[in-house]
Amino acid sequence: MDWDRIREQWQQQPADAGTIAIDALRRRDDALAKQVRRRDRIEVIAAAVVALAFSGIALVAALERAWLELAFAVWLVAWAVSIPVWLHRGRAHLAEADPAVPLLQHLERRRQLAITQARMLERAWLWYVAPALVGLVGLTLAASGPTPGALAYLGACLALGAAIAWWNAHVARTRFRRHADALQQQIDTLSATGTQRPERTPLP
């Protein structure tokens, strides 16, 4: 299923179908798909760098028998390794549907992708921010204790974590859920013309 075929099928619908311009919807869908791929590449590279850096810290801590530091460094390595896994789950349906797939089923798949991305971003505080903060707080306090410098550093980390969580939720709401709503509008409109409607995944 490609967007040219979608345009042809929409043009066959009644004039009062009320669909938005297919070109605008296609551009939005393509832009979000490219954004996901670009973001994931950057995040995977960053995760690899973080994993290598904290692996080195873990090695030094093990040689010095600093077991608490070692535990939190290993925690951060495990967190970095988990990031590509989360990102892969979020883009599992990014590929275009099979050309033989009916129009509404194709649109539903694109909608489901947008919802999956939105949910992942809305929960970034749980799988992305919180584990990193736990590791950084634990490692910092284990290495230097609650010194003024350490507390100032941790305060900055907490503020940054809060900002990252807020931004991800904002992107989920203003980009991915908005796009899912636009796709659902087209599904509802085309379904009203008599086209068979696909099973809809309820929004949380």
Q: What pLDDT sits at residue 18?
A: 44
- Whether the pLDDT of residue 70 is over 70: the answer is yes
Distances (CA, A) of 176 to 65, 71, 104, 114, 182: 47, 37, 19, 5, 10
Q: What pLDDT sits at residue 17?
A: 44
Beta strands (DSSP E) in the chain are: none
Q: How many helices (H) and strands (E) does the chain have?
A: 8, 0
Calculated CA dihedral for residues 17, 23, 24, 27, nearest 10 degrees = 140
- Decide: 36 and 55 in contact? Cβ < 8 Å: no
pTM: 0.80
pLDDT (mean) for 141-155 = 96
Q: Which two tokens stand for residue 58?
A: 């873990």
Please provide the distance, in angstroms rounded to a whole number, between the alpha carbons at the two ends of the chain: 28
Tens digit of each residue's pLDDT (9 = 90 or more) over 98-143: 556 677 787 888 898 899 999 999 999 999 999 999 999 999 999 9
